[in-house]
Structure 1
Amino acid sequence: MAALRDDPRFKAGAPTAPYYPNADFSAVTEPTFFLTYQSDPVAHGNTYAVPWYNSMSQAEKLYIEVPGAHLCPMTGYGDKAKQGKWMVSFFSLWLRADTRFSPFLCGPARDADKNNTSLVTRWMDTCQF
């Protein structure tokens, strides 16, 4: 998040279980994908990612909260295939301008994932893409 805010060379970002106390990322204008974990006692989305997401009024944004805790990205817990699909789709779209991946982020394929409560506990997006 700091790199997206402070360095124009970065064109998109995807913080996973982001934790950065007392930070202001409202100036971020690059596309950002937040991946958070429902039971995260360290970096719960409500404490960090959601306020950042809400403050970023000039950026395309995707916020997905999935079941799991803080170490979920580094463990076997969670649906890594789906999380990887979202991450690859997001970066393919924003870094390579490859619109073939848009349906996974904003469309029928997204809706199937978004409405699967065993896979996603909260989903927010700007869905202009």
Structure 2
Amino acid sequence: MMYISLYDLAFFILFVVLLIGAGYLIAVLRRALGVLGLVHGVLNDHQDEIHETISLFQATLVNINELTGSLKEATAQTASAVRSIPNEITDTVDDLRESFETFALYARIIREVIKAVFAK
């Protein structure tokens, strides 16, 4: 009879595990190469569009910088306008108060004149 030692059994199991692992690794690498090939094909098909998009980045950055500058300027103008609103409201209220006082004075004068004319 032929016996298998534990060493030979362990060696056989290790060999089978390594063989299965190598097969799985080969399958994964093949799949990864397929995906990379697909990506490479897509990049080659759209190479002109990619270069055009990259070349537009400079113009886009310039436009963004100009937009940022105009936005800062508009914000500064808005801030100064908002700061001047309370002063304008105060001036308008003062003008209205003076106008009402003048109107009240004229109304009193007219009332006194009417009293004096119709009292006789």
TM-score tier by shorter-chain length is under 0.3
- Give the number of the structure whose residues are more often strand, by fraction: 1
TM-score of the superposed pair, with normalisation by structure 1: 0.17
Q: Greater relative contact order: 1 or 2 (C-alpha under 8 angstroms, separation 6 or more)?
A: 1
- Give the number of the structure whose residues are more often helix, by fraction: 2
TM-score of the superposed pair, with normalisation by structure 2: 0.18
Question: Which of these two proteins has the greater Rg computed from alpha carbons?
Answer: 2
